[in-house]
Structure 1
Amino acid sequence: MNISRRPLLLAGLAAPGIARAQAAWRPDRPLRIIVPFAPGGSTDVVARVLSDTVAAQLGQSIVIENRAGGAAGLIGSEAVAKSPPDGYTVLLHSNAHVIAPCLVSRMPYDVVGDFASVAHLGRVPQVLVVNNALPITDMASLIAWLRANSGKINFASAGIGSGNHLASEVLRSALPGIEMEMVQFRGGGPAMQAVISGSAHLCIDPIPSAVGHIKGGSVRAIAVAGPTRSSALPDVPSATEAGLPAWDIAAWFGAFVPARTPAAAIAAWNAAFNGAMERLQPRLVELAVERQPQIATPAAMDDFVKADLIRVAAILRAAGVRPE
C-alpha cells in the first residue's frame, strides 16, 4: 500500500474513530463558514455560537461570511458548491437546504451531488410570535383575530424556501379559510424586526433567533410548532396544547462542504463540530437546539438529508407550491 494514502483511507473507514482522521488533516490557513442568510437569523446565531470552539479544535481562525440572497439561500450555497474541495470552505445551512429544489426548477447546484455532508448541528422547534400591539394572547385569540381580519393579514418570512415559510404553509393548511399575505425579507433577522416594528403582524421563527426578542418583551410568543414545549420557552404552550396537533415543523442545521472534499478534512470538521456541540451544550439548550446523536456521522447526515428532501417535497406539494 502506498504509505501516502493511508491517512485518507483511515479517515474514510474510521467514523467514529474521528480523532485519528482529524490528525491526518490540519488546516494551515484561516477557514471560512458561509451562512447563506443575513446576520441575526437563526442559522447565523448557531454559526457564531459554534465557530470559536470549532476554530480552537481545528487550530485556525474561522471567518463567517453572510451571503444572503436567492430562494432558500441559493447564492451562498452556490458559492460553496463551486469552491475548491479542499476543506477550507464550509456551508452552514438550515433545512432550507432541502427546500430549495422544491421551489426552483433550474437549480444552480445539486443538493445531493454537489455537496458532502459534514455534521448535523441540531434541530430546533419554531415559535409563532405576534406584534405586541395586537389583541392576541393565545392561540384561541389568534385564530379569532385571523378570522375577523382575513385578507388583511401579513406575516413576515425569510423568503420563499426558508424554514419559516415552510412552517407558515403548514399553519395555513391547518387554518382553512383564512387569507394571509406573506411578506418576504432577506433573512430571519429582518423578518423579526418587521414584527417588532409593526410592519408585519406575525411570523414563525426558529427559537434560537426568537428567544431573545421574546424574553426581552419585543414580541409575544403564542405557540411552539410541535407536540411538546421547549425548554428554552417553558411558559409557551406547544401547538398540540394550543389545539393544532398537525402543526409540527422543526428547523434543523447542518454543515456541508463541496463534493470531492477529502474524507480526512470532512472527518476533522465533523469531530470539531461534534466536540463544540458537546462542550457548548448548556448554551445550545438555552437556544432550544436539540442534539440528535443518531445523526452524528457524515454518512448518517447524508441519509437524513435525502429523506428530508422527500418529506419536504410532499409538504410543499400539498400546499400547492411548485418549482418555478
Structure 2
Amino acid sequence: MNPILSRRATLALIAASCSLPTWSQNVPDKPLRVILPIGAGSGVDTIARAGTQALTKALGGQPVVIENLPGAGGITGASALAKAAPDGLTIGLVSNNHVINPSVFKKLPYDTLGDFTPISVMGATPFVLVVNPNKVAAHNVKELIALLKAKPDAYNYASSGNGTVIHLAGEMFVDEAQVKIRHIPYKGTGPMVTDLIGGQVEMGVVALPAVQAHLKSGALRAIGLCGNVRTPAAPDIPTIAEQGLPNYNIEGWFAVIGPAKLPADQVKRIHDAFVAAYASPEVKEAMAKQGNVINPTTPEAAVQYFRTEMARYAVLAKKSGITLD
C-alpha cells in the first residue's frame, strides 16, 4: 500500500475510534449502592440479587452492591436513601411499604414523594397465604375459614412487621373471611418464615419467591395466591379469590427510586440499565421461575403510580385501624 494512503487510513481509524462511545469513559469509578429497606430473604431481596450481574453488565461494568437496611417497616432504609447525595451512586429498591408508611405511621423523617425520585415501577411479585402443615389441618380457604371460626383466637398469623404490606394482606384476609386471628409481627421476612416452618406461628402471607423451596419440600403448605390470577410459576396453587373471597386481591410490587433532585441524565442511565438487565434472558428466566411479572414503567408513570397506591392503602389502613408511632 502507498505509505501516504496507509498513513491516512491509520489516521482515519484513530479518528473514528475517538468518535465512538466508550463505556470505560462513562462508567463511574465507584459501585452503585442499592439500598433495600427490607431484610435478606424477602421477595424484593430475592428479585434484586437475581439481577445484580446483569445490572452490572448493563451499567457498562459498574459494580452493584446490595445493602439491606431493614427496620421500622422500611423507614430505616428509606431514611438512608433520602440523605444520600443525588449523584447516581445510591438508589433504592422499594416495595408497597414505601407508600403505605404515610398512612400507618404518625410521623416520618422524610416526605414519601418529595424526598425521592421515582425511576421505575419494575413489576410485581405474587403473595401467597401459607400455613404450617403440622399446626393447621386446612388445605384450602374453605377449610381454613371453618377451622378459624371453630376456634376463634386460637391461631396466630405472622407478618414481616407492623404496618407492612404483608400485615395489611393478613388484615385483608381477616376482614374478608370474617375470622379472628392474632397478629404476630416480625422484623423482616426471614425471621417470619423461620418461625412459620418451626411452628411458632401457624400461618402468614408471604411473597412466593421467599417460600417456593419450602412449599416444594412440604415444610409449608399453600392455601392460596393473594392476587386475582394464578401464576405460571405455581399453576397448581389457586387464588384466594377463586376459592370464595372474590374481593381479596393484593400483590407486591417493586420500584427503583433515587434521592430527591437526581439529575435527569442519571435517572435515564439507571432506568435504562434496569430495563435492560431485567430483559436479559437469564434474569427473565429467574423472574419467571419466581412468578414475578416484569413490566417497567417510565419515571413519569412511576410518580403517578405512587400517588394512586398511597391513596389506596390509606383507605385500607384506616379500615384496619393500624396506627404506629
Mark the runs of 5 or more structure 2 residues left unpaired by the alignment. Answer: 1-20
Q: CA deviation at 1:96?
A: 0.6
Counterpart pick for 1:158 among 135, 160, 175: 160
2:312 partner amino acid: R
Q: Aligned residues, how many?
A: 300
2:234 is aligned to 233
Contact 2:39 2:45 in 1 (8 A): yes
Q: CA deviation at 1:218?
A: 1.6
Q: CA deviation at 1:285?
A: 1.2
Contact 1:127 1:205 in 2 (8 A): yes
1:60 partner amino acid: Q
Cα distance between partner residues in 2 of 1:26 and 1:263: 17
1:142 partner amino acid: L
Counterpart pick for 2:68 among 62, 66, 69: 66
Q: CA deviation at 1:23?
A: 10
Q: CA deviation at 1:317?
A: 1.2
Q: Taking every aligned residue pair, what percent have the same amino acid on both sides?
A: 34
Q: CA deviation at 1:314?
A: 1.0
Q: CA deviation at 1:24?
A: 9.9
Cα distance between partner residues in 2 of 1:289 and 1:242: 22
Give a deviation string over 1:228-274, Cα, whole Å, max 9, x none: 21111111111122111111001100111100111111111101111
What is the RMSD of the two structures over their aligned residues, measured on CA atoms?
1.7
1:281 is aligned to 284
1:222 is aligned to 223
Q: CA deviation at 1:304?
A: 0.6
Cα distance between partner residues in 1 of 2:288 and 2:48: 15
Give a deviation string over 1:173-225, Cα, whole Å, max 9, x none: 1122x221111111112111111000000010111212222122220001001
Cα distance between partner residues in 2 of 1:28 and 1:216: 44
Closer/same/farther in 2, CA of residues 204 and 56 from structure 1, 3 Å limit: same
1:290 aligns with 2:293: yes
1:196 is aligned to 197
Mark the runs of 5 or more structure 1 residues left unpaired by the alignment. Answer: 1-19
Give a deviation string over 1:268-313, Cα, whole Å, max 9, x none: 11011111111122211111111235xx211111111111101111
Closer/same/farther in 2, CA of residues 24 and 320 from structure 1, 3 Å limit: farther
Cα distance between partner residues in 2 of 1:271 and 1:161: 32
Q: CA deviation at 1:104?
A: 1.0
Name the SS for the 1:121 alignment partner.
strand
Cα distance between partner residues in 2 of 1:217 and 1:53: 32
Contact 2:163 2:322 in 1 (8 A): no
Bigger Cα Rg: 2
1:263 is aligned to 264
Counterpart pick for 1:174 among 160, 173, 176: 176
Name the SS for the 2:51 alignment partner.
helix
Aligned pairs for 1:86-125 within 5 A: 86-125=87-126
1:207 is aligned to 208
Name the SS for the 2:278 alignment partner.
helix
Name the SS for the 1:231 alignment partner.
coil
1:285 partner amino acid: A
Closer/same/farther in 2, CA of residues 57 and 323 from structure 1, 3 Å limit: same
Give a deviation string over 1:48-101, Cα, whole Å, max 9, x none: 01122111211211111111111x210011000011111111111111111111
2:29 partner amino acid: D
Name the SS for the 2:279 alignment partner.
helix
Cα distance between partner residues in 2 of 1:192 and 1:101: 26
Contact 1:25 1:264 in 2 (8 A): no
Contact 1:102 1:323 in 2 (8 A): no
Q: CA deviation at 1:25?
A: 5.8
Give a deviation string over 1:34-60, Cα, whole Å, max 9, x none: 111111111111110112211121121
2:143 is aligned to 141
Cα distance between partner residues in 2 of 1:207 and 1:239: 14
1:118 partner amino acid: I
1:263 partner amino acid: A
Bigger CA drift: 102-111 or 26-35? 26-35
Cα distance between partner residues in 1 of 2:322 and 2:285: 38
Cα distance between partner residues in 2 of 1:41 and 1:275: 23
Q: CA deviation at 1:125?
A: 2.1
1:131 is aligned to 132
Name the SS for the 2:149 alignment partner.
helix
Cα distance between partner residues in 2 of 1:138 and 1:175: 13
1:305 is aligned to 306
Contact 2:41 2:210 in 1 (8 A): yes
